[in-house]
Structures are given as C-alpha cells and as structure tokens.
Amino acid sequence: MAGPDGAHTILLPCTGKGCSVEASGDSWPRQACRLFRATCADGIDLIPSCLRTNLPLDPDPMRQTKIICTIGPATASSEMLRELAENGMNVARLNMSHGSHVWHGEVISHLKRLNQKLGMAVAILLDTKGPEVRTGDLSRDLPLRRGDQLVLTVRRQAELEPYTVEVSHDNFVNEVAVGDTVLIDGGMLTLKVQEIVGKDIRCRCLDDGLLSSRRHVNIRGKSAHLPSITAKDWQDIRFGIEHGVDFIALSFVRQAEAITELRRYLQCENAAIDILAKIEGLHQIVW
C-alpha cells in the first residue's frame, strides 16, 4: 500500500493492540531491524524518513501462492462458494473423511456452475481418507497429565475400563513394541509403551493433553500395515472420476507404488486428473 509520502509498505502483524508493523525498502528482510515502522493508534511514526525507500510494485502481479479452501457445511452453499472464489480461492478441497457422495456431488455441481457462469477457474481437489489408525469414541474428553497411565486396546466391547481407549486397527497390538513412542493427534499427546498384555497396550503419558474421540494414532518411525489405498478410497476415487474433479490427493502415501497404481488406474479410465502425494510423516519421505 502507498503511504502519504508515496512510499510503498508491506503490512506485518503486531502483538500491540491497535498497532500494525510495516517494513519498507528493497533491503528487506536482511536489514528488517533497521526498516521497521511502527504505526500505532495515535499515528506516531517511529522510523525517520531518511530510511524510507520506494518498494517497486508490479501494477498487475501474478500471485504465485495458491489458496486451497476446505469446503464444509458452513461454506457449501452456492453463495458462500462464490464469495470464497471472489476473495481468492483457487482450489476447493473435498475431504472424503466426512460427508456423503450426495453432499460432495452437490458441492461439485455448485463449483462447476460457478466456473461456467462467472468465467472462473476454481479447481476441485478430492482428498482421500487414506489408511489410518484412530482412537475410538469417548463419552467425553479425557484430560491426561504427564505420568498418567493410559491403555490402548484392540478389544471390541461396549464398556471399557477407565483410562482405556480403543484403537481402530486390529493388528496395532502386533505392530507396536515396548519402548515405542505413540503419537496421538499428530503429537498433541505423546505416549511411551511400557507393557503389552494380550490385546492391551499399556502406556505412560509423556506430557499433558486432552484426548478426544477419533484422534489419529501413529507409532514414531513406523507405519501401520494397512493398504495404501483402501476400499473406501477406491470408491471415492471412482466418484471423483465420474464427477470430473481436477486433483486427487492421496493420503498417507508410504511408497511410490501407490502413486503408480493410481496413475495407471486413471489412465485406464481416461481420466485427466493430477495426483498429489500427501507426505504425513518423516518415514514417508523417499530420499
């Protein structure tokens, strides 16, 4: 934006109430400490004019960063999708972990009409659920403190003992070992495996946290022995082909073979859909 003296500035967030911080000049960010201007609510300018330099701006710049918006119930209407598109949405993401095919189909129809009517080019990305291990349903959130004992179990029964939580993968008990670190909800809660008894995995909490229903469960440095593309994923991919989505994001990709398998399938279906591999752990990176 241009200031009263004609200098262009870049606005950055500031923690002060009613205050913004600006950086100006072509030496940003190497000498940012010399080029900060704090403009507070009282309008005091704390940087001398001798340090201000014009920042050349392209009158018609091409935005390199693209905006992907996950569409949910609050944004699924035609009106809200149009508002998102007019404010910069490049890609509409459909999370196949939630919602029915009927619901997602309605969103796709809205987006295609929007593109055709307004001449926009909002792409549609289908994000597969992927193979995953999750905790079971809890009647209420479970607060945990460092040092607490928590049991993860593959027992399937209606009532479980206090501080016992079901996990969805039946073979999980055979894939974890004493001493392993188990990450709940991407590391929001960390557990250390102390003992395995039958179908129970007895753990100690390494930090404070709040455990809620259906949280992701991972073993640090290991992958669960699950198919790369599940039966549900194939159903959703078929749905995406039929509705002409632009991208498929394949979740929890562990090996290149999963991408190759999907690419061959798309080619057999004559579907011009690009594939995105979602890397969701260090062990999934191929060097």
Nearby residues of 99 by Cβ (< 8 Å), 6 or more positions away: none
pLDDT computed for residue 186 by the predictor: 84
Instruction: Output the pTM of the full model.
Output: 0.65
pLDDT bucket at 42, cuts 50 / 70 / 90: very low
Instruction: Report in angstroms the alpha-carbon separations of 218 from 96, 135, 147, 221, 232.
Output: 20, 11, 20, 9, 20
For residue range 112-142, list pLDDT tens digits in order. 999 999 899 999 999 999 888 999 989 899 9
For residue range 151-184, list pLDDT tens digits in order. 999 998 768 899 999 998 889 999 999 999 999 9
CA neighbor of 249 nearest in space, from 277, 230, 283, 221 = 277
pLDDT computed for residue 205 by the predictor: 97
Helix (H) or strand (E) holding 39: strand 36-39
pLDDT computed for residue 91 by the predictor: 97
Whether the per-residue pLDDT at 32 is higher than 50: the answer is: no
